[in-house]
């Protein structure tokens, strides 16, 4: 019986190694600073203050009147925007018609301090699928006014009355 107890006690350290505790998986040792190496002092600096970076202008043939235009110029060209949103230093104008919805993004610093259009996105009004941007601008432009030239009144030719 004493042997059984001694055998059980001798297995106890092996059982303890199987239980929860520190894992014995080989891994890459963590680098430690040697006592002779000086600690690196890192000076905390505030982040550099940068102004807004200039926006990239996305010009496509057919968008010459839109890209580079200011908000008032866009309103004259496409009508009153449905949405006018400020997003940070950017401004988004949304124009909508029966065929499409056009989002125009205006950024400062591209053509001076006043925000100017530098990017447009277009989608179908029905389901939001991509739409040709140039075709959308064309669809949103009001039709040109019909100019009717004044017509001079027509005078009937003088008729001669028969003499009596």
Q: What is the structure's pLDDT at 24? A: 54
Look at the chain and count its residues: 164
DSSP 16-75: HHHSSSS-----PPPP---TTSPPPP----PPPP--PPPPPP---TT-TTTTT--HHHHH
Residues of the chain with pLDDT under 70: 1-59, 110-112, 162, 164
Q: What is the structure's pLDDT at 131? A: 94
Q: Model-level pTM greater than 0.85? A: no
Both tokens of residue 160?
């001669």
Both tokens of residue 118?
């530098």
Q: What is the structure's pLDDT at 39? A: 52
């Amino acid at each position: 019986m004493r042997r059984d107890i001694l055998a059980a006690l001798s297995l106890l350290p092996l059982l303890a190694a199987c239980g929860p505790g520190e894992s014995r998986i080989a891994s890459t040792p963590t680098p430690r600073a040697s006592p002779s190496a000086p600690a690196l002092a890192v000076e905390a600096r505030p982040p550099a203050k940068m102004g807004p970076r200039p926006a990239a202008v996305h010009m496509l043939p057919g968008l010459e009147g839109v890209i580079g235009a200011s908000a008032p110029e866009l309103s004259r060209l496409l009508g009153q925007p449905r949405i006018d949103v400020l997003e940070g230093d950017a401004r988004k104008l949304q124009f909508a018609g029966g065929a499409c919805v056009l989002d125009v993004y205006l950024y400062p610093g591209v053509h001076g301090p006043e925000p100017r259009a530098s990017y447009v996105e277009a989608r179908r009004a029905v389901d939001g699928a991509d739409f040709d941007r140039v075709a959308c601008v064309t669809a949103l432009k009001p039709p040109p006014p019909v100019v009717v030239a004044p017509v001079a009144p027509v005078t009937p030719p003088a008729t001669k009355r028969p003499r009596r």
